[in-house]
Structure 1
Amino acid sequence: MSAPVLTDRHALSLHRRRAVASPDPAFFLLEEAADEIKERLLSVNRRFTAPVLISGFPDFWADALPDLPQSPDLPLLDLAPGSQDAVIHAMSLHWADDPVGQMVQGFRALKPDGLFLALLFGGQTLHELRACLAEAEAEISGGLSPRILPMAEIRDLGALLQRAGFALPVADSFTRKVAYRDIFHLMSDLRAMGETNALAARLRRPTSRALFLRAGEIYRQNFPAAGDRIEATFEVICLTGWTPHESQQKPLRPGSARARLADALHATEHRLP
């Protein structure tokens, strides 16, 4: 059964092109993600000879990581089976209709003991904006509309790595708090990031300014920042997994331990009947 259509890929492409063409694109989070990728690749202490980077902003990543060949973040990745020793999914996996399907495709494209590294926005991202828009819309229209992409929590994404078949899965995250003048300034920055509403189920008619004004009032009351500003949260989740290989660490066989936990804890052992 195919995954439900979450993202309007045509709208997403238009939003990304608009961000790139902006006189002042807001790529500060992409820059942090690029630094994180560089640091993590260095910490692996391995020379990758056939890496590939999956992205939605090829020009940015060509400048940030020029040594990495790229492939677009299409629903069907253009990667041959067993062709890569590293697949890096760079800040676009959150827009995938089928995230585990993207991971499985990355798994199939990797050689044994190959690295899968993904950075994406997590569930805490824009939680303030999400809550304020929902409250304002419920007040004004009595209903809710899809306005912000639903993003996965870190524990769920870690489980997806295992479902995709990866060994040694690790999921961690970092959070950035950003202050904005008002809700309109925040939404302008989201446009300059290419991260505005591209949901397939979004409303296709203009939203009244009154709704955004009310959401702005709620935002300022509930999420103030210093200097009469508002605060927005961006959570970036980092996923790491490896394709299985005999050289990797493996858990010990049950019953093979040579020391007793009770002895290590200096505790009395009570055997079950």
Structure 2
Amino acid sequence: MIQTPAIFDSALIAQHLARRSAPGDFVTDLVLADLEDRLVALIRDFPKAAIIGPDVDKLPAFGQTASARFSYQRHAAFGGQDDVPVLEGEDFNLIVSILHLQAVNDVPGYLARLRARLAPDGLIMIAALGGETLTELREAFLAADAQIFGGASARVAPMLQVRDGGGLLQRAGLALPVADVETHVVRYPTPFALMAELKALGAANPLVDRSRRLASPALLAAAAQAYAERDADPDGRIRATLEIVWLSGWAPHESQQQPLKPGSATSRLGDVLGKV
């Protein structure tokens, strides 16, 4: 078997999360509010549901669809040696993963293993940080590293691109795949305020191949200057992009919509277009 190369240091992520000092987490709050809106639009019962996220205490114990209230089995992301926590009992009608997939080393394997725990016609919903998240900070550190050290170091993790989402869902054997993105722009007084919040949220560099050199005052000052020059508003505040990629797919079931077989059309496209 081919071993998936480790990109993210899961043990380090767990340490960062354990040392969090921020009293709140607006990113998680934003994602959970969006999750509520998405679920309440579904006319569906979920007798058995699970939710996975970095902070178990912030995960909801209950969810609500348009037709029924249900309870979640809650699980910690980054809580053990394995990317996928142990989901107890029989297969699930709903599995939700929030803010976990972007730091999983084997994304196709993660999706396949969640898919394997779905009951027929069960739903997976995933929210992950997208590839445009913190792109301003990434570019500022690239410029600062080049200026101070003469080369670049990986200081902001690569993240999921929405264009890859549908293919990943199909590869995992999920039907009716959907991938969409929510983009938010958050403003901070200075780049240092953004860096301080990331540290307080436990979102420090999680890469295995990260630089072991401490970020010097000169590097941080150069990054802050580059950030302000590129991404500051007229009032002096700087912008930070937060991109949330949402993926959803269903375990195949005979009741779901099926594509028509080739050659089964009863009308010619040219005839239809001619009537428009």
TM-score in same-fold range (> 0.5): yes
Aligned to 2:72: 68
Aligned to 1:271: none
Aligned-pair CA distance for 1:197: 0.6
- Residues 1-273 of structure 1: pairs in structure 2 closer than 5 A: 1-19=2-20, 22-25=21-24, 27-62=25-60, 67-73=71-77, 74-79=82-87, 83-266=91-274
Output the CA distance in 2 between the equivalents of 1:131 and 1:112.
44
Task: Give secondary structure in 2 for the equivalent of 1:67.
Answer: strand
Output the CA distance in 2 between the equivalents of 1:49 and 1:86.
8
Task: Give secondary structure in 1 for the equivalent of 2:95.
Answer: strand
Output the CA distance in 2 between the equivalents of 1:203 and 1:168.
41
Structure with the larger helix share: 1
Runs of at least 5 residues in structure 1 that lack an aligned partner in the other structure: 268-273
* AA partner of residue 133 (structure 1): F
Aligned-pair CA distance for 1:46: 0.7
What CA RMSD, in Å, does the superposition of the two structures yield over aligned residues?
Answer: 1.8
Task: Give secondary structure in 1 for the equivalent of 2:136.
Answer: helix
Output the CA distance in 1 between the equivalents of 2:227 and 2:213.
24
Percentage of matched positions with identical amino acids: 36
Describe the superposition over 1:7-45 as per-residue Cα deviations: whole angstroms up to 9, x where unpaired.
Answer: 1122101111222xx2533x1111111011111111121
Is the contact between residue 48 and residue 71 of structure 2 (CA under 8 Å) also seen in structure 1? Answer: no
Is the contact between residue 183 and residue 216 of structure 1 (CA under 8 Å) also seen in structure 2? Answer: yes
**CA separation of 1:248/1:131 partners in 2, compared to 1, >3 Å: closer, same or farther?**
same
Aligned-pair CA distance for 1:153: 0.8
Runs of at least 5 residues in structure 2 that lack an aligned partner in the other structure: 64-69
Is the contact between residue 90 and residue 119 of structure 1 (CA under 8 Å) also seen in structure 2? Answer: yes
Is the contact between residue 81 and residue 110 of structure 1 (CA under 8 Å) also seen in structure 2? Answer: no
TM-score, L = length of structure 1? 0.92
Aligned to 1:270: none
Aligned-pair CA distance for 1:81: 8.4
Aligned-pair CA distance for 1:4: 0.8
Output the CA distance in 2 between the equivalents of 1:23 and 1:40.
27
Is the contact between residue 61 and residue 72 of structure 2 (CA under 8 Å) also seen in structure 1? Answer: no
Is the contact between residue 89 and residue 118 of structure 1 (CA under 8 Å) also seen in structure 2? Answer: yes
**CA separation of 1:226/1:174 partners in 2, compared to 1, >3 Å: closer, same or farther?**
farther
* AA partner of residue 6 (structure 2): V
Output the CA distance in 2 between the equivalents of 1:82 and 1:265.
50
Output the CA distance in 1 between the equivalents of 2:111 and 2:238.
36
* AA partner of residue 16 (structure 1): L
Is the contact between residue 31 and residue 64 of structure 1 (CA under 8 Å) also seen in structure 2? Answer: no
TM-score, L = length of structure 2? 0.91
